């Protein structure tokens, strides 16, 4: 006779479930607050900042689309449409990848660099207000360490 528990997967403890729910809710609340701060300053959404930041950090201010995808939290299908909108706004342009005529570089423009700088000031202020004003440095370090444990590959 088989015990039913042999077939059941382990269930999270109430503490683990509570941590998960609070992590998800907090992420949504803080991201929404930051997005609202950017919108109130008449700036593009946070995803635009992420792309512009990665391009600004890259050698020559350019990356292949798959490199942007790897460095951000944007899914490929969302990234393509986002890059189209950013190009239309004049913040990036695409260049042919010389080693492969089918591929493209995404290159940050001067307007994109200026927008990243404008967004950076609002973003930094928002991070301070929504996170830094609520946690001291020791708590922020502790939170960062706990999140690092969760983000390590299993």
What are the φ and ψ backbone dihedral angles of 63, each rounded to 5 degrees? -145, 160
Q: Which two tokens stand for residue 61?
A: 């201010």
The pLDDT score that the predictor gives to residue 34 is: 96
Say what the pLDDT of residue 1 is.
Answer: 54
pTM for this one?
0.84
CA distance 22 to 30: 12
Provide the 10 A C-beta neighbour count for residue 9.
4
Tens place of pLDDT per residue across the chain (154 aa)? 555 556 788 999 999 999 999 999 999 999 999 999 999 999 999 999 999 999 999 999 999 999 999 999 888 888 999 999 999 999 999 998 777 667 889 999 999 999 999 999 999 999 999 999 999 999 999 999 999 999 886 5
Please give the pLDDT value at position 100.
Answer: 67
Report the alpha-carbon distance of residue 55 to residue 60 in Å, rounded.
8
Cα separation, 135 vs 132, in Å, equals 5
Q: What is the pLDDT of residue 125?
A: 97
pLDDT of residue 97: 77
């Amino acid at each position: 006779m088989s015990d039913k528990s042999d077939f059941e997967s382990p269930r999270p403890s109430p503490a683990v479930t509570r941590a998960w729910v609070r992590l998800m809710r907090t992420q949504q609340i803080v991201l929404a607050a930051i997005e609202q701060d950017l919108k109130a300053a008449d700036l593009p959404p946070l995803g635009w900042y992420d792309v512009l930041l990665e391009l600004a950090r890259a050698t020559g201010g350019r990356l292949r689309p798959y490199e942007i995808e790897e460095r951000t939290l944007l899914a490929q299908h969302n990234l393509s449409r986002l890059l189209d909108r950013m190009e239309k706004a004049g913040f990036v342009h695409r260049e042919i990848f010389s080693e492969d005529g089918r591929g493209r570089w995404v290159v940050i423009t001067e307007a994109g660099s200026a927008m990243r700088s404008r967004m950076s000031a609002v973003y930094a202020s928002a991070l301070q207000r929504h996170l830094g004003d609520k946690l001291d440095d020791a708590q922020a370090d502790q939170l960062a360490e706990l999140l690092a444990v969760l983000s390590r590959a299993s």
